[in-house]
Amino acid sequence: MLENEITTRATALFGVVDGINSLLIKWGISPTLAEWLDEIISMSLLFLIAYGLDLITRFILHKVVGKLVKFTKNKWDDIFVEEGVFRQIAHIFPAIVFYLSTPIALKSLFWINLFEKGALIYIVFVIIKAIHVASKAMSKAYSKSEDYANKPVQIIFQIISVLAFFIGAISLLSILLDTSFATLFAGLGASMAIIILVFKDTILGFVSGWQLSSNDMLRQGDWITVPKYGADGNVEEVSLYSVKVRNFDNTITTVPPYALVSESFQNWRGMQESGGRRIKRSIIIDMTSIKFCTSEMLDKFRKIQYLTEYIDSTEEIIRNYNEKNKTDNSMLVNGRRQTNIGIFRAYIQKYIENHPEVNHEMTTMVRQLQPNEKGIPLELYFFIRNKDWVYYENVQSDIFDHIMAVVTAFDLRVFQYPSSTGAPYTLYTE
C-alpha cells in the first residue's frame, strides 16, 4: 500500500525531474548517466532548498519573533526565546518540505522510501526536542511566577517531557518497522511489566510529586529535615526524580520524592509562618537542694521584683487554708508550705512573661517533668518572636544564661556529674 501511494505521488511529479533528464541528454550525456545525475542534482537542490527554508524560518521565528516578544508584557515568551524553543520549532518546517518534495527529486522507490523515512525520523526527533525545551522553558517561567514559585510545577513539565520521549520512541519504531502507531502501542501491553520496571522511578516520582503538590506537603524554599538522608536545610529544587536540599553547611543532599511520602520528614514552614519559634528546653534541679521556705527565705525572695506580689498572694492563700484546717505550724511538713523550687518556677514564669523577645500571645509555660536519676527536669516552653536562626539562638542563650545565674539565689543546685577538677557540681541541661 505504501509503495502504491509513493508511486502515485511520484508519477504525478516526475515531469519536473524529466525536464532535468532531457536537458542532460540534450547536452550529450548518456541516458543511464543522465538518470543518475538528474536524481543527484535534484536531491542536491532539494537539500539546498530545505537548508534555505531552515535559515529563513529560523530568522523569522528566532530573530523577528525574538524582537517582537520584547514589546509584550508576558514573561513566558521571553523565556521561550532564551531557551531556544522557537529555534527548535523552526527546524520542523524544512523537514516537512523535504518529506513532501522527495518524490520530485527521486524516481527510485527504494530511495524515496529511504529518504522519506529519514525525514520522518528527523521530524520526530525535532518535535521531541522542541517539547523537551518548551517544558524546561515553561518550568522556568512558572518558577518565576509569584503564584507558582513555591510549588513543584517542575514535576508536571518533566512528566510531559518523559511522555514525549516515550511516544516519540514508539513513533520511531513504527516508522522503522513500517507498522502503524496504534498497532505498535497496543502490542506494548504485553510488555507492560518490563515498561513499569524500566520507568519505576519515573512512576514513583510522578505519584509522589503529585501527592506532595496536591497536599501542599513541600514547596521550593521550605526548610526540611530528613534525618535518614542527612538532609537539614532549604529545598532548592523539586523534580521528578529528586528533591534537592541545600544543607546549612552548604552541602547538597538529594532525596527521592517517594521517600518523603512513604517515610516521615520534618517541614519547618509552619514555624516560619507562625508568630514565633518554639523553645523547649529543660534544666535539671538536684533533688537534694529542694526544701520548704522559711520566713527568712520568704523575706529574701520578696525583694525580687517579679516575686513580691506572687509570694504575698500565695502566703495569704496558704495561711487561710492552714487556719481553716487548724494546722500545727510547729512542723513545716504540716499543712501547705511554699518551696524554693515552686518559687523559682514562678520566677521563671514571670521572667519569660516579661521578656521583650517572647511572643506573649502564644503558649508560655514552665513545668516539672518526671523525676529521674539525674534530678527533676524543669522545662521551659515558650516562643521567640524573631525566627531567624542566629538571632533565635542568641536570645535562647541569653535567657538560659540568666536562669543559670539566678538558680543559686533560690538555694537550689543544678544537677551535675562529678568532675575531675574536684568541683562539687557542673551545670547540666538537656
For 310, the grid coordinates are 506572687
Angle at 50 between CA 112 and CA 31, to 5 degrees: 45
The pLDDT value recorded for residue 105 is: 66
pTM for the structure as a whole: 0.52
Model confidence pLDDT, tens digit, residues 239-257: 777 889 999 888 999 888 8
Characterise 250 by phi-psi region: left (phi > 0), alpha (psi -120 to 50), beta (else). left
The pLDDT value recorded for residue 15 is: 47
* Helices and strands in the chain: count of H runs, count of E runs: 17, 8
Higher-scoring residue by pLDDT: 47, 383 = 383
**Buried (b) or exposed (e) across 94-115, using 16+ Cβ within 10 A?**
bbebbbebbbbbbbeeeebbeb
Percent with pLDDT over 70 in the chain: 74
Q: Where does the pLDDT of residue 297 fall: very low under 50, low under 70, confident under 90, or very high at 90 and above?
A: very high
Spatial separation of the C-alpha atoms in residues 347 and 351, rounded to whole Å: 6
Spatial separation of the C-alpha atoms in residues 233 and 378, rounded to whole Å: 31
**Buried (b) or exposed (e) across 58-92, using 16+ Cβ within 10 A?**
beebbeebbeebeeeeeebbebbbebbbbbbbbbb
For 265, the grid coordinates are 520528614
Task: Report DSSP state, residue 306.
Answer: T
**Strands of 223-226's sheet in order across:** 252-255, 243-247, 231-238, 223-226, 266-267
Q: Where does the pLDDT of residue 1 fall: very low under 50, low under 70, confident under 90, or very high at 90 and above?
A: very low
Model confidence pLDDT, tens digit, residues 79-93: 777 777 777 877 888
The pLDDT value recorded for residue 39 is: 65
The pLDDT value recorded for residue 5 is: 46
Per-position DSSP letters for 73-115, written without gaps between them: S-SHHHHHHHHTHHHHHHTHHHHHHHHHHHHHH---HHHHHHH
Spatial separation of the C-alpha atoms in residues 76 and 403, rounded to whole Å: 57
In the predicted structure, residue 64 carries a pLDDT above the cut 90: no
Q: Where does the pLDDT of residue 429 fall: very low under 50, low under 70, confident under 90, or very high at 90 and above?
A: very low
Residues 34-55 have a mean pLDDT of 72
In the predicted structure, residue 395 carries a pLDDT above the cut 90: yes
In the predicted structure, residue 76 carries a pLDDT above the cut 80: no
The pLDDT value recorded for residue 420 is: 44
- The helix/strand/coil state of 406 is helix
Spatial separation of the C-alpha atoms in residues 360 and 352, rounded to whole Å: 9
Model confidence pLDDT, tens digit, residues 121-164: 888 888 888 888 888 888 777 776 666 655 666 667 777 887 88
Spatial separation of the C-alpha atoms in residues 223 and 208, rounded to whole Å: 19
- Are 413 and 286 in contact by the 8 Å Cβ rule? The answer is yes
Spatial separation of the C-alpha atoms in residues 152 and 96, rounded to whole Å: 36
In the predicted structure, residue 10 carries a pLDDT above the cut 60: no
Residues 199-227 have a mean pLDDT of 76
Place of cell 505521488: 9
pLDDT mean across residues, the chain: 79
CA atoms within 13 A on the CB side of 281: 17
Residues 295-323 have a mean pLDDT of 91
The pLDDT value recorded for residue 343 is: 95
The pLDDT value recorded for residue 12 is: 43
Higher-scoring residue by pLDDT: 89, 266 = 266
Residues 304-312 have a mean pLDDT of 92
Angle at 224 between CA 223 and CA 229, to 5 degrees: 140
**All structural domains of the chain:** 2-146 (no CATH), 152-158+182-272 (2.30.30.60), 277-410 (no CATH)
In the predicted structure, residue 278 carries a pLDDT above the cut 80: yes
Model confidence pLDDT, tens digit, residues 355-381: 999 998 899 999 999 999 889 999 999
Model confidence pLDDT, tens digit, residues 331-344: 778 888 899 999 99
Higher-scoring residue by pLDDT: 175, 197 = 175
The pLDDT value recorded for residue 35 is: 58
Residues 308-315 have a mean pLDDT of 92
Query: What residues contact 152, with CB distance under 8 A and at least 6 apart?
Result: 209, 212, 213, 218, 219, 220, 238, 239
